[in-house]
Amino acid sequence: VTWCIDPIDGTVNFVHRLPGFNVSVAALVDGRAVAGVVVSPLTGDTFTAVRDGGAHLDGTPIRCASPASLARAVVGTGFAYDPARRTAQAEVLARVIGRIADVRRLGAAATDLCLVAAGRLDAYWEVGLNPWDHAAGALIAEEAGARVGAISGGPPSERSVLAAPPAIWDALAALLVEAGAEAV
């Protein structure tokens, strides 16, 4: 078992005393998350999942949303610390935002992934994440029924993470490829 721990996911939020930071812990076996927990100290929300055991919020089972279409989806994303990369990511967002209902930028990948799991966000994508940013949250989203992977296929990685209900995953992935999301 390898432990993948982010003691403060959403560090900028934490430093600026903004909500949205969390503690994220995942247990990996052969590089694959088998258990995860994400705790928000401000709200007290505790998201958990065990592979093939479903996802829970404070012990209650959760499921991802079922938006009617990509055009009606509220989608979360994040931006890199590097100004040049952040500018390129904003240009991608400009190419995407007119084809979805709206976008949210909350500042912590694990939180965003858990919000997809709970149906509070319809989908989430980001590029340039470290494994500790997404390991627990991605498992929780997947166990809540979301499809989770890299935008152009394969497992979530530093290249990209996309979490969405199966009904809109392909359309959102295609839109993000068209917008050049993984090229930034």
Contact 101, 121 (CB under 8 A): no
Note the pLDDT of residue 107: 93
d(CA 110, CA 9): 7
Please give the share of the chain, as a percent, with pLDDT higher than 90: 99
- Reported confidence tier of residue 87, pLDDT bands at 50, 70, 90: very high
Can you give the pTM of this predicted structure? 0.96
Please give the share of the chain, as a percent, with pLDDT higher than 70: 100
pLDDT digits (tens, 9 = 90+) for 101-121: 999 999 999 999 999 999 999
Mean pLDDT of the chain: 96
Note the pLDDT of residue 60: 98
At 7, which amino acid appears? Answer: P
pLDDT digits (tens, 9 = 90+) for 39-86: 999 999 999 999 999 999 999 999 999 999 999 999 999 999 999 999
Note the pLDDT of residue 37: 98
Gyration radius of the chain over CA positions: 15
Whole-Å CA distances, 155 to 27, 33, 77, 83, 161: 16, 11, 18, 27, 8
